[in-house]
Structure 1
């Protein structure tokens, strides 16, 4: 069976599939070719005829509906994973591949074999190294970790922390509130745009926040990796984010939140929603998963407001709030209350 077809059948949502749905899935050139593939799957018990639906009466004859034997479809793949579990270094954790498409495993395998060889011959590194240096040592490609998905592979097999890698992303840009350095809890506010960052900066020392961080759009998703080394202060660190209330801003927050838990700075967004909306960003596309996650931080009425906003092609830039209002909100909000709610 073709690997792509196996993956399509495994990802099919229902347990049964009609003949017409199967035809759309395979997109065959001729009926004879289609029938040949279906009968091969039927003979292998990967597709099981639903007898109550009957067969189409053509030559060769196919069932009108089939039950997908997903357990059998996964069997050979899982057997292969079991073989490699015994073959690869025992520090390479394989569990996640049993829940991932076979395609991911096939893409990762050449790199896992190189990592296995590295561990067998050199063991775990004793000193920290920049990502490109460690990447070249592991797989012979200095950009594998930073540009070609290597970081995700190492996370997937539980090796990232053990490989002693430090990121080489752009340094994080932030201002420090010296009055908060000795506190046990440290609050950090990440701002997407430069104008809003400078508008808030004069109020920093009047707030309970330890830092005001300039996110610089999407750059924050990578540069946040540098935070522990740039702000090596012991304590409970909590992050808030305020960006444009548009597709790009929410997508940035979601990507960042997947790497470092960060709450939307609700009081700022709440203030934006009371203003007159702007129009013009028609080329942006919001990720449904990002929007759904973002909306959980808002009451139902404001969730509907935000949904309506995007349906009408509108948005709120951060600049809708003037510096004086930004500073007042930052100074007067009980930020620990929003932490306790989450």
Structure 2
């Protein structure tokens, strides 16, 4: 695995060919890479018109061969050669770091990161660093940006997770929680909030007085919900106390949605819930 903390370009001077090849290699999750479409083409696109100034194919081939000597890549001899001069194998295999050789990883941890993440555990266990590297870099970049320009509107956890990792469920997963604990970063640090699961409800338009608790009726059955909605809306049914919010429980779904109530009646001083439905094992869960 390559470790390099240089920027891709410094002014108008292109970075070394090998440095950017390392960047491309690191970005691939696959262990088997084609010399052209997986390595050369991304490098050439990045250099664009400066490809020849950077040495072109000859510099590219020399860098690939150097990475082979450094045991970063291994040519797959059975794949054949590309027919160019100097020749390269058609396929290369990414090699893992040698056992115990984590000096480059430690150097990167110490020199690259500028945010308040605590990476001491990765210094103590550098063998864990490589598989978290891309996510750690993304979090580090976000924390620095957020410190300089705090976002006016926070994203949901899933939105922030997708932006940082490409997977919307990662931050809310067990692995995501463990990683955040490990680097001592919270969801608040990442400027994101959990999005409560919404539920079906109907507001009765009953005025909510200042410092008054909202009365909420949770109905388990969908047909009963619609009947009560009609009767209450038509003024043909009176309850004591009067109901501010009629909620369709939708089986077990409501159990993961209670926090959504704060978005339905944000001005309430508190909430009192009533339940209409089966008091079997399923219905009893609402009362816990």
Answer with 1 or 2: which has the greater Rg. Answer: 2
User: Could you tell me the TM-score, scaled by structure 2's length?
Assistant: 0.40
More helix by share: 1
Q: Tell me the TM-score normalized by structure 1.
A: 0.35
